[in-house]
Structure 1
Amino acid sequence: MTSSALQGLAALAIAPTAESQNMAAQFVEQLKQSVDGWKICAEGFTSGTYHQNDHVKFFCLQVCEHYAKTSYRHASAEDVNAMKSFILTCIGMESNEGSQSKTFIRNKLAQVASLVFVGDFPQRWPQFFHDLMGQLASGALAVDMYLRILLSVQLEVVDRDISHSPEEMQRNTLLKDAMREMCVSELADSWHQIMTTYETSHPDIVNMCLEVVGGYVSWMDIGFFANDRMVALLLRFLVKEELREAACDTVHDIVSKGMEPVAKTSLIESFMGLLESAGIFNCNDDDVDFLCKLSKLINGMGLGLITSRQRLGSKGSAKNIEVTMQALEAKIPHMLRFLGNEDDDVSSGVIDFASEYIAMMKSQPSMSEVQKNHIEGLLVTIIKKLKYDESYNFEKEGEEEAEFQEYRKRARVIFNNMASLDCQMILRQVHGLVSHTLPQWKNADFRDVEVAIALIYNLGEAIPASQGQHFSGNPEKASALQDMMRLLITSQVSRQGHIAVLLQFFETVIRYDKFFVCEPEHIPEVLTAFLDERGLRNCSAKVRSRVAYLFLRFVKSTKGNLTPYLEEVLKQMQELLIINSPLNGLGHGLSDTDQLFLYETASTLVVSCSLEPEKKQVLMKQLLTPIASKFGTMLARLSEEQDEKTQQAYADCVNNSMSLASRASKGFSGTQTMRACGCVSVFTELLSIFLSALEVTTPQRALLQQGVRQYLHRMVVCLDEEILPFLPQAMEKLLKQPDAKELYDFLPLVNQIVMKFKDGINPFLSQVFMPLVMTIHQVLSAPVDANDRVSAEDKKMLQRGYFLFLSTIVCNCLDVLKVQEMQNLNQVLMSLIHGAVEIPDPNSQKSCFATLKKLIQSWGGKDALPGFPEFIYKEIVPACFAAPMKPTFDLSDGQTTLTLGEAASCMVEIFQQRGQEFVGFLRTDFFPSKGMSEENALVYIQNMQTPLKSFRKWLKRFFMEAKS
């Protein structure tokens, strides 16, 4: 194979087309599966033939990597020597100053070498590291390769972020033990030698070596790192611009090493003393990248000291605890400095430290004055960091804005935790800030104003009402939060105008809706804000849209106090309720979705007010009559229009009109019903008008049908028998030449009607039942293009919908089936059998078996429906066996197992209804006809009489054995 394989490698080198590249990739897969494929690739890599083709070299290394991962551990002595020779030859090639390999080639070679190490060290290649170090004298490229291999070994053996199996973890432990015993001292010496040799000439190599040191420190003895020569190097590097970031990461890794608490505190303090003496923390705040590293270092030190304090617990000596706490407290000023840095990346670096410090303080019985000062300083810093950056784009938020919002969430978590630590301090500080800022909002930066309001908002989460009464009707007992809410409204800060301030104002008003129960005199001002240029008439679409939703929430929460303002509010809303259409454009700037909220809001105002039903009817009619008048005009224009784009615009308007009316119906409730409010006629008149949309034959017919169905759904919820006269006409029009999707969308409406009215609509349902069934069967049997996946999926969904419809009928209006002609009833029953057995859709099958079980329960007992017991024995019982034996019935699938459970339920239900008659049928008729032995038949019958859960489990094993 060698000759042809080398030719194949040559083909890889000239694979310009997608087809030839695909063939080349297939060839590589063949090499991976070949016993000697790796040797061919090793020869190809080291021969020098393809030294200028990284594509081929990478493929060669991939094959070698595959072998090292899968088969190398079982290699013969000959192959082990061949692999060792290959690795050393490759390293020698890559160490040659003339090597021009790309970084990804060197990384892949390092990965292969690390896999060989895992397989060989220490038994088959005890000199692995010694042989690698033997190459170091070759120069910088050799050192680079050596470090890359060490990093790859670290990833394979040490890195805790990579999940390993228990076997791999045991292997890695043995490898580290062997390295500790055989070579760690030499490794540490090599690192020191590398860093001192290349400190000036190759800072990239020194940086990589520092990364290696940081990777190995977690499991090597601390003495290799916390010694005079290493610390001296690190301190020297920390003042060199090209090395200090990597050096800082290495110091972080050293101080983060797992150790006993006293030793850990001592290590951190020794490093901290040296760093402070060297002035490392006095760096320029403009160097953000290095500040991020320093922030991470302080974070690691802080977390390490907190862990040490926790591990000392109450059993540690008082002296050790005191030393650890003093060391921790000394880090807080550094933490506050980095947390308060303008750059959020720097600030984020110490957020974990801040969070854990607060958590630790919460576990303490009390705080010292120093600690209280630290917490207050932390609060001041967090408040500062909650402020928006000057560059924040409020109208077009991008990635940077999303990052800030994520940072702000983390900062709010710290705020909340501080509140649970010292609630009164938080209230005092926030109250002072709010009292200072809001009255002077005209002269303040909008960002300061926004933060003040945001802090009021955050208090609701930080200090839940369960911890104390936020609002009281007694002014003398008013809380600080109540004072702040009063100031928020009376200060007129909502007129500041900036989008961020406005949005935070409205969000805060909604969060504290209970405030307006205690002080309802402030409601008019807030209503005005919602309705004027601050809210729904704001020039920002973002503000308008959010306010439309929040206004609905405000009205719902304060509706008991809104009757005095009802007519004025509706008057103010009137122009905002004008429906968008091709005739009037978008004059008020609200989207269709915004208007949905407004119509529900207006309806809620009318329904909840303390007026007589007659007055409510008048107001509701004023709200909805414009919809009726515009609907007819738009529908007529749609029918007359020839241009498809304009047709679509009119159709959207017609559909939106129905959606708005549907949304208005949500203003009613279980107590304030449509009938109690005198509004039945308003909505039924609209229904009569909307039904005319079903006559439209333009391409937008489906959209209009959707609007009518939506409205009908709402009317079924809100009306009682008042809707029944409209159902025949609606059903007739909705079922006029429907396609599969239209039918599927229609069936939930029928189910809703059936479940609400049950036997009350038997006469109507009995008449339309078979026509509906026949229409469904006709649509399902219509041929479709084999490649039309959309139509096929529509049919599948319609089948499911049909079986759910039958289930709904059986569970709610079973008499509808009883009065059908026998031929029609038999057709329906056989469709259930067909669905249970022949349709490879577990959802449909499960539904069919569940419905059959309900029929057995209702018609299969002593007062059985004539002919139904025969149907049970002739059709249902065989179906319970035929379905699980189908090749498409996958017993390993969860949904299919549920279907089998329903089939089991059918068999148990038959036994409960027919008793020994059923047992006799199985023993003397059914099982013999299937060739089942008497012994197996008895086993089945015995299991059928056990608890259903046990029978289901047994039945699954029964069919799995039968199909094997």
Structure 2
Amino acid sequence: MDEQALLGLNPNANADFRERALAYFEQLKVSQDAWQVCAEALAQRIYSDDHVKFFCFQVLEHQIKFKYAELTALQQQLIRETLITWIQAQMLNSQPEKTFIRNKAAQVFALVFVTEYLTKWPKFFFDILSVVGLNPRGVDLYLRILMAIDAEVVDRDIIHTPELQLDLQEARRNTLLKDTMREQCIPNLVESWYQILQTYQHTNSELTCQCLEVIGAYVSWIDLTLIANDRFINMLLGHMSVEVLREEACDCLYEIVNKGMDPVDKTKLVESLCQVLQSAGFFSVNQEEDVDFLARFSKLVNGMGQSLIVSWTKLVKSGDMKSAQDTLQSIESKVPLMLQLLIHEDDDISSNIIGFCYEYLHILKQLVLLSDQQKTNVEAIMLAVMKKLTYDEEYNFENEGEDEAMFVEYRKQLKLLLDRLAQVSPELLLASIRRVFNGTLQNWQSSPFMEIEVAIRLLYMLGEAIPASHGAHFCGDVAKASALQDMMRTLVTSGVSAYNHTSVTLEFFETVVRYEKFFTVEPIHIPNVLMAFLDHRGLRNSSPKVRSRTAYLFSRFVKSLHKHMNAFVEDILSRIQDLLELSPPENGFQTLLSSDDQLFIYETAGVLIVNSDYPAERKSILMRNLLNPLMEKFKILLQKLVVEQDEERRTVLADCLNHAVGFASRTSKAFSNKQTVKQCGCSGVYLDCLQNFLPALSCPVQKETLRGGVRTFLHRMIICLEEEVLPFIPTASEHMLKDCEAKDLQEFIPLINQITAKFKAQVSPFLQQVFMPLLHAIFEVLVRPSEENDQSAALDKQMLRRSYFAFLQTVTGSGMSEVIANQGAENVERVLFTIIQGAVEYPDPIAQKTCFIILSKLVELWGGKDGLVGFADFVYKHIVPACFLAPLKPTFDLADAQTILALSECAVTMKTIYLKRGPECIQYLQQEYLPSLQVAPEIIQEFCQALQQPDAKVFKNYLKVFFQRAKP
């Protein structure tokens, strides 16, 4: 072997050596006989360097995985002998191999097993067992090989091959391997495991744990009676009391319990296990106990509980009520243990038992009457859930890390339990939460934050746990309504909103917003809650997290209760004035709210103004007071941006200008069909905004950012201002069409489409004026050369082409074809040819579909006897051929859904030509066009008959068949 190259295998080798070693590995992989050198090196222990040994196994692994079939019988024999020789050597070595080498060797053994066991090496296991005996090093390798075989043959988590066909082949092979093992050797393997456990349980915990892991892995598919018998189970239960073995023993028992079985047998098995565990003292959980073990034990109890519930369900379904009753008693007897684990202070232990708990409640939900004990169990689960929902002292609210994220997930599991409890006994849940809530809020000043937070959280959760149709919590069902209503009254009058802790504050605001319907029943409490939102408790809280969330919740609160806020509108507006400041971060100064949070505040201000009972003049003044500072600041910042030289500062200014436009835009969301901009007297102020914002379009720097913002504002104004926006469109368009990139145009076209579709004839003069400049800008970008492999540029062009055709579709579909017709003969022709090109030449079914829609519309408008001069000629020379050439293209995939839609529009185009031109069209197809394509006369006849069918669907279906036959 290349000794120099092997030096690069050392982790500390320099980059050149590592590079050389990598190249050497690639060279050996493709070499015919390099694997033999590696096999010899392993068998004869030529190298002592661990990394070289590992390397040799890697070369062997590659040979077996990818080139084994190319080997002769003798060479395959050599590999088998090498592996056995290697194992024999391990038992004589003074030092055991490193773990990573043993694991790699086990993988190679497993690959040979998969390839050879069914054919050339049926004695695989016997050969290994005869070599290793009970030698500890040999046993270690034997167990590793068994785990590697499990990973290769059984473990469902390991994806071996991506292709479905290979997956099926592999699944069949794996089934055959397991069947053969069951027939030929599983009893012997099980016996070997027993001997290993017997020999090493007191002297070698590592081997014992390995063996338990193997049993756990194999028990899912071998005969359970081989393991679930007195000698094995007694040994496993003995291991449960040995500290170094009990976690593995727990996992092994879990796998045994999880094995699919007859429900009566399963109940007996679980019961017998439980009796032994109980008599050994495992059913009284010691809080001081090692948490790692208890987490495994909790998983085991969960497995036992869920297995019993599956058995109960099967027995009930089969009608065996006697056995079902026995199984239910068995389940009930585990509930005290389940509760001890559920309430454990370690969340992993508690989390592992939630499945059993959830399923147990599901059983109770199905029972007609609950016994006193069952009611007690429900209450105990309820109290456990309430206790476990509580935050730890250490929870970091301002900087949540992995531990916090795990607790949030754990809380979600507990919420599912709470919802299930509500289904079993809503009255009980309501009473329990009410007791906890009232008790805690009576003494909130002296209580720790976590108790208060969880009390309010429980009130919040009730809304989903006990659903109420539209506000019924606060009217209708008196028992439920009054309980929730009382708790809400307590929440908003107790003063708890002043509690100084992030979690309590947030929970308070989340809850008042969830139950906003309470305030429609008792509006007297609205002023107090508004003050909480507006002062240091909410929007001016010291925590940025609270301020941010409150901004959103405040907007929701105001939106849902604006009818009750008329008296406070101007007071609220004056109090939030400072939060609406538009200022770029300067000298390290940070505003209280981020620009995203400010969006909610602007929207809230808009909602208050628009929905107030003020006359239009007053609304107009208030809206102007809200937006004038934005416009003033915008002018100043835009002037600064134009002269600013520093690129970073330019970005900051442009973002700030963009925020200003976004804020103004957001206020307009408050208007509706009932409260339009015009009715509220606010048209003037928004037109002023337009006047102020449009100059940004001609700013020579930061074009993309500024154009994006102004364009979005224009979209909003087209909706809100109606035709009053039209005078601004020409100037805006002129600026947006200057120095365009594909993306700019692509984003500008929807704006023109929106105007065209909304205002139709009103914008005809403008459209005629902008039509060719827009098209020239599009064509200029489309013909601009780009790198051959530039995927991003190619995609931008494709999207622009689609946008261009969408524009033409909007123009023709809005009854404004005269816009195109008035462009002069040369330009009209150019446009028509681009549509034909789009229909035929580009392999983009979405664009092709649009092009055929445009063509059929133009045929409908211009294709009749008194249509556009010269258009009939164009129909026969270009549109008819397009309807055949497009579907005949190799790229036109008739198995693709989008392409079928394009074909459907192609059929509509043909049909429209026939309807407009009548017999003349049929004659042209029969005598000129179809014969020129060498179509057989009988097929021509068939085609023309289908085209003349009154039902358009008949022709669509026919056309698909026609092209399926026509394609090579």
TM-score, normalised on structure 2?
Answer: 0.92
Following superposition, the deviation at residue 792 of structure 1 comes to: 4.8
Structure-2 residue corresponding to 1:513: 516
**Contact residue 50 and residue 56 of structure 1 kept, 8 A:** no
Question: Offset at 1:888?
Answer: 5.1
- Taking a change above 3 Å as real, the CA distance of residues 221 and 478 of structure 1, as seen in their structure-2 partners, is closer
Which of 152, 155, 159 aligns to 2:151? It is 155
Q: 1:541–1:589: 8 Å Cα contact kept in structure 2?
A: yes
CA distance in 2, matches of 1:468, 1:540: 32
The match for 1:374 is 377
2:474 is paired with a residue whose SS is coil
Q: How does 1:652-691 map to 2 (within 5 A)?
A: 652-691=655-694
1:310 counterpart (313, 334, 338): 313
**Does the CA-based 8 Å contact 2:888-2:967 persist in structure 1?**
yes
Which one of 43, 46, 64 corresponds to residue 46 of structure 1?
Answer: 43
Show the counterpart of 1:453: 456
Q: Give yes or no for the alignment of 1:143 onto 2:139.
A: yes
Determine if the alignment matches structure 1 residue 703 to structure 2 residue 687. no
The residue that corresponds to 1:774 in the other structure is: 776
1:763 correspondence with 2:765: yes
Give the partner amino acid of 1:638: L
String of CA shifts for 1:418-457, please: whole Å, max 9, x gaps: 1011111110101111111112111111111111111111
Following the alignment from structure 1 to structure 2, what is the Cα–Cα distance between the partners of residues 915 and 54? Answer: 84
Matches for 1:918-929 after TM superposition, within 5 Å: 918-929=921-932
Match of 1:192? 194
Q: Distance in 1 between matches of 2:565 and 2:56?
A: 78
State the alpha-carbon separation in 1 of the partners of residues 648 and 518 from structure 2: 50
Which segment drifts farther, 181-190 or 557-566? 181-190
The residue identity in structure 1 corresponding to 2:64 is E
Paired letter, 2:57? F
Report the counterpart of residue 164 of structure 2 in structure 1: none
Q: Is the 8 A contact 2:88 2:132 kept in 1?
A: no
1:553 and 2:553 are equivalent in the alignment: no
Q: 1:132 aligns with which of 109, 128, 132?
A: 128
Q: 1:324 to 1:583 in 2, by over 3 A?
A: closer
| Residue 163 of structure 2: aligned partner | none
Secondary structure of the corresponding residue to residue 133 of structure 2: helix
Q: Which moved more, 1:811-820 or 1:421-430?
A: 811-820
| Distance in 1 (alpha carbons) for counterparts of 2:480 and 2:209 | 63
| Counterpart Cα distance in 1 of 2:530 and 2:474 | 20
Aligned residue for 1:806? 808
In the TM superposition, what is the alpha-carbon distance from 1:831 to its structure 2 partner? Answer: 1.4
1:866 corresponding residue in structure 2: 869
Residue 429 (str. 1) matches residue 432 (str. 2): yes
Separation in structure 1 between the aligned mates of residue 330 and residue 252 of structure 2, nearest angstrom: 21
- 1:485 Cα offset (Å): 1.0
CA deviation after TM superposition for structure 1 residue 324, in Å: 1.6
1:365 is displaced (CA, Å) by: 1.7
Within the candidate set 263, 266, 272, 1:264 is matched to 266
Query: In 2, Cα distance between the equivalents of 1:761 and 1:553?
Result: 38
Find out whether 1:577 has 2:580 as its counterpart: yes
Find the aligned partners of 1:319 and 1:889 in 2 and give their Cα distance.
Answer: 66
Q: CA deviation at 1:42?
A: 4.4
Distance, in Å, in 2 between the alignment partners of 1:919 and 1:55 is 77
Aligned equivalent of 2:447: 444
The code of the aligned residue for 1:253 comes to E
Contact 1:658–1:708, Cα closer than 8 Å, also in 2: yes
Paired residue type of 1:510:
V
Shift of 1:782: 3.6
Distance in 2 between residues matched to 1:301 and 1:476, nearest whole Å: 39
- Maintained 8 Å contact 2:28/2:35: no
- Structure 1, 808-817 or 51-60: larger mean CA deviation: 51-60
CA-based RMSD of the aligned residues comes to: 3.1
C-alpha displacement of 1:803: 1.6
Match of 2:60 in 1: 61
Task: Find the residue that maps to 1:548 and give its secondary structure.
Answer: helix
What letter is aligned with 1:152?
A
**Is residue 46 of structure 2 the alignment partner of residue 27 of structure 1?**
no
The whole-number CA distance in structure 2 between the counterparts of 1:863 and 1:116 is 82
Aligned-pair distance for 1:741?
A: 2.5
The alignment-based identity, stated in percent, is 46
Query: CA–CA distance in 2 between the matches of 1:582 and 1:272?
Result: 66
- The question of whether the paired residues in 1 share the 8 Å contact of 2:471 and 2:517 is answered with no
Contact map agreement 1:51 1:57 (CA 8 A) in 2: no
Q: Superposition pairs for residues 35-184 of structure 1, below 5 Å?
A: 42-43=39-40, 45-49=42-46, 52=49, 53-67=52-66, 71=69, 81-82=77-78, 84-98=80-94, 101-121=97-117, 124-137=120-133, 139-159=135-155, 168-169=170-171, 171-184=173-186
Bigger Cα displacement from structure 2, 647-656 vs 483-492: 647-656
Aligned positions of 1:235-314 closer than 5 A: 235-281=237-283, 282-283=285-286, 285-313=288-316
Contact 1:93 1:99 in 2 (8 A): no
CA gap of 1:774–1:318, structure 2 versus 1, over 3 A, is: closer
- In 1, are the aligned partners of 2:538 and 2:550 still within 8 Å (CA)? yes
Deviation at 1:41, TM superposition (A): 5.8
More off after superposition, 626-635 vs 538-547: 626-635
How many residue pairs get aligned? The number is 953
Say if 1:148 and 1:509 are closer, same or farther in 2 by CA, change over 3 A: same
Q: Where does residue 856 of structure 2 map in the other structure?
A: 853
> Aligned partners of 2:922 and 2:357: how far apart in 1?
73
- C-alpha contact (below 8 Å) 1:473/1:518 kept by paired residues: no
1:648/1:220 CA distance change after superposition, 3 Å = closer
- Give the match for residue 645 of structure 1: 648
Determine if the alignment matches structure 1 residue 486 to structure 2 residue 483: no
Write the mapping of 1:500-649 to structure 2, written as runs, cut at 5 A.
500-581=503-584, 586=589, 588-649=591-652
**2:5/2:17 contact within 8 Å kept:** no
* Post-superposition offset of 1:766: 1.8
Q: Which moved more, 1:608-617 or 1:275-284?
A: 275-284
Cα deviation digits, residues 547-571 of structure 1 (max 9, x gap)? 1111111111001111011111111
Assess, with a 3 A threshold, how the Cα gap between structure 1 residues 790 and 225 changes in structure 2: closer, same or farther. Answer: closer
The 3 A distance-change label for structure 1 pair 842 and 18 is farther
Determine the structure 2 residue equivalent to 1:469.
Answer: 472
* Kept after mapping to 2: 8 A contact 1:8/1:24: no
Structure 1's 460 and 789: CA in aligned 2 closer, same or farther, altered over 3 A?
same
Q: Indicate conservation of the 8 Å contact 2:315/2:321, yes or no.
A: no
Q: CA deviation at 1:173?
A: 4.5
Moved more, 747-756 or 467-476: 467-476
Q: Give the match's secondary structure for 2:198.
A: helix
Output the CA distance in 1 between the equivalents of 2:778 and 2:304. 71
Please identify, of 684-693 and 152-161, the stretch whose mean Cα deviation from structure 2 is larger: 152-161
Q: Which shows bigger deviation, 411-420 or 471-480?
A: 471-480
State the SS of the aligned residue for 1:393.
coil
Unaligned runs of 5+ in 1: none
Shift of the 363–726 alpha-carbon distance from structure 1 to 2, 3 Å rule, reads same
- TM-score normalised according to structure 1 size: 0.92
Q: 1:696 deviation in Å?
A: 1.9
Q: 2:812, 2:854 within 8 Å by CA — same for their partners in 1?
A: yes
Unaligned runs of 5+ in 2: 161-166
The partner residue of 1:411 within 403, 414, 426 is 414
